[in-house]
Structure 1
């Protein structure tokens, strides 16, 4: 399975030529306008920086190699009272599973973690303010035990929401040898992929 970070919390998943876009954004400082083709698009919630479906040109329908599961969570730590709900989705193809946590704003309950289940990779927000912060994101990863972690939803000047934190506080919580700064935005997820993958934009 190929994963490409398109910026902010937006990713492209590809398997056997089938393309899925997750949480397309618009209006996020620094990032260029998003325009991409895909067979399907999924959004964790309805905010502008996660739900810009008009930026995705849908390709002709074909059978998907992905199965998709959903786990309902919240965009804050007050049961959704501040920012509403958030849908975690687990995408499985080619024997590998990836969980996109959207704008998760709280620690997972035991029931939610069990519902997400074993996954190979987790795409986790780390910037705080609107989501879990660095420590909260690390705790979520510890609860899910993925082999691979990809941080998202952080500020890296000139890109991203200026009020959220950078990725560095999250990376500092991991052993240095576990952190891999990639030379591009994409990587192949395999059964051997392990550690914290930090794509470059």
Structure 2
């Protein structure tokens, strides 16, 4: 068979090469062909400036004073949160976050509005005649007719009752009968007794009316309220496993009381003004827990 001329082989090779190049070029040229228009991809959103969440700027921001004790953190059904606000004022919070402020006054107030405010009238730093109208229940520890206050209030998961005591009549030097009340707050599974402005030891009847208590909030100044020996006698009669000092005017006053009791009781100094207490967390041996206040 005669061989194919060179020029025919060259033409065939060129044709094959052109076909191959067309196959390679078509995919690249395809987007240039008419097609249905597609919307442009949206631009990435620009985040607003949030210097308060920028880790690099945290140290430049002013500190936020949000005490952990006042965050609405749920409590277990058997727990109570106690916060020492100062002087004789505590904030007691129940598992349903019912708030009780003791010896509510115009000078030392909790940072949140209480549902219940208890008061005593020995001094103006223990009561106010113009409480915040948003307080649901205002319980005076005295009556104007001289009879015992006799409170017995239930609200949600809190029960508050009072036991009357006498105070000094500062104007005449005598006795103001039933001028003070020991308030007993029952919340969770605990009974908490706030002794108020106690001026005398307790009678057997008063001890019986108070009943078993788990926590005692005790004035320890030793002069304006009951003297140190008398206060120790009261605490020995109440037999509470946990006692929290209040109503002291200096570190010296507090230390003097703690020195008096440390031979018979354990003493713990807390760094925070709040403590969560339950029946199971009560100390096996009676103890004083000192919470910092103002």
Q: Is the 8 A contact 1:97 1:121 kept in 2?
A: yes
Q: Is the 8 A contact 1:113 1:143 kept in 2?
A: yes
Give the CA deviation at 1:193: 2.3
CA separation of 1:106 and 1:46: change in aligned 2, threshold 3 A: closer
Q: Deviations over 1:91-141 (max 9, x none)?
A: 111110000010000000111111111000011111122211222221110
Q: Is the 8 A contact 1:76 1:106 kept in 2?
A: no
TM superposition score normalised by structure 2: 0.58
Which of 98, 113, 129 is the aligned partner of 1:18?
98
Q: How many residues align?
A: 189
Q: Name which of structure 1's ranges 165-174 and 87-96 shifts more when overlaid on structure 2.
A: 165-174
Give the CA deviation at 1:56: 4.8
Runs of 5+ in structure 1 lacking a partner?
A: 158-164
Regions of 4+ moved over 4 Å: 53-57, 59-63
Q: Deviations over 1:46-72 (max 9, x none)?
A: 631000364656367894311112111
Residue 52 of structure 1 is matched in structure 2 by: 128
Runs of 5+ in structure 2 lacking a partner?
A: 1-79, 138-153
TM superposition score normalised by structure 1: 0.82
Higher helix share: 2
Residue 161 of structure 1 is matched in structure 2 by: none
Tell me the distance in 1 between the aligned counterparts of 2:116 and 2:89: 13
Q: Is the 8 A contact 1:76 1:104 kept in 2?
A: no
Q: Is the 8 A contact 1:3 1:13 kept in 2?
A: yes
The SS at the match of 1:49 is: helix
Residue 3 of structure 1 is matched in structure 2 by: 82
Matched, 1:73 2:149: no
Tell me the distance in 1 between the aligned counterparts of 2:201 and 2:192: 18
Residue 201 of structure 2 is matched in structure 1 by: 107
Which of 149, 172, 176 is the aligned partner of 2:243?
149
CA separation of 1:111 and 1:45: change in aligned 2, threshold 3 A: same
Q: Which has the higher contact order (CA 8 A, sep 6+)?
A: 1
Tell me the distance in 2 between the aligned counterparts of 1:122 and 1:93: 14
Q: Is the 8 A contact 1:41 1:56 kept in 2?
A: no
